[in-house]
Amino acid sequence: EPEVTQTPSHQVTQMGQEVILRCVPISNHLYFYWYRQILGQKVEFLVSFYNNEISEKSEIFDDQFSVERPDGSNFTLKIRSTKLEDSAMYFCASETGLSYNEQFFGPGTRLTVL
Amino acid sequence: AQKITQTQPGMFVQEKEAVTLDCTYDTSDPSYGLFWYKQPSSGEMIFLIYQGSYDQQNATEGRYSLNFQKARKSANLVISASQLGDSAMYFCAMRSPLDQGGKLIFGQGTELSVKP
C-alpha cells in the first residue's frame, strides 16, 4: 500500500541553524500539507500546497518558513533560522483532491532545537 | 472561523466495553468533512473514520462509528468492544473545502486508556 514517507525521523539542531524536512507524498496525490505538533498539544496546520504554489498558510508559517516541491516527488519544509519554540513533530500529508476523503499522513519528523 | 472542541482530556474504559469520545464543531461552510485520527504513543497519525456534511447516514468502519448530529454540530466517535490496543490519543478534525485550502483543523484531543 502506498504511503507518505518523511526523513529524517529525528533531527537535532542548534538554535539559528537552517533545517530542511523532507517528505515524499504518494505519487498520484496533488495536494500537500505540513502540520506541526508541539509535545502534548494538538496538531496545527502550517501550509497547504497545490499546483506548485501555496494555497493557504497559517499565522505560524512566517518568513522563516518555506516549502518547495523541487523535483515532482519530494516536498520539503525549510526553516531558515530555527528557534527553541520550533521544537515539535512535523507531519507531512497528501491527498488526491478527488473527494473529501482522508489526508494521508507521514510518520513525522521530530525536530529538537537546542 | 472553523473550530473543533474536544472537552474530554482523558477517558477510561474497561476492555470489551464501548466508549464515546465527544467532538463538537463550528463552521459557517455548508460543505465540510469531519475526521477522527488515532495517535498512539509512537506518534503517527492513523486515519479512523470520515463523515461528510451531506452524508445522510452515520459513518462506520469496523468497530468505529461516528454519531453525527448536524443540528447539534457534534461528531462523536464510538468505539465498540474496546481493546488494549485502542489506548491512544484521539483527535477530531474538520476540513475546509479544497478551494479554500483543504486544511484540517484539529481539536485538543482525548487520551483514551483501556483497562484490562
Query: Quick check: helix, strand or coil at residue A27?
Result: coil
User: In Å, what is the CA distance from A105 to each residue of A17, A26, B11, B79, B103?
Assistant: 26, 10, 25, 22, 13
Identify the pLDDT of residue A99: 66
Q: Which residues contact residue A99 at a Cβ distance below 8 angstroms, ignoring those fewer than 6 apart? A: none
pLDDT at B102 over 90: no
pLDDT average, residue stretch B24-39:
92
Q: Chain A contact for B90, CB < 8 A?
A: no
User: In Å, what is the CA distance from A104 to each residue of A60, B16, B57, B108?
Assistant: 22, 29, 24, 20
pLDDT average, residue stretch B3-11:
95
Q: Chain A contact for B36, CB < 8 A?
A: no
Span between the terminal Cα atoms of chain A, in Å = 37
Q: Are B59 and B51 in contact (CB under 8 A)?
A: yes
Upper half-sphere CA count for residue A93 (Cβ side, 13 Å): 27
Nearest residue in chain A measured CA to CA from B49: A102
Q: In chain B, what residues touch A48 (CB-CB under 8 Å)?
A: 101-103
What is the tens place of the pLDDT at every residue in A11-41? 999 999 999 999 999 998 999 999 999 998 9
Q: Chain B contact for A105, CB < 8 A?
A: yes
Lowest mean pLDDT among A8-17, A48-57, A94-103: A94-103
Nearest residue in chain A measured CA to CA from B97: A100
Helices (H) and strands (E) in chain A, counts: 0, 11
Q: What confidence category does residue A102 fall into, taking pLDDT thresholds of 50, 70 and 90?
A: confident
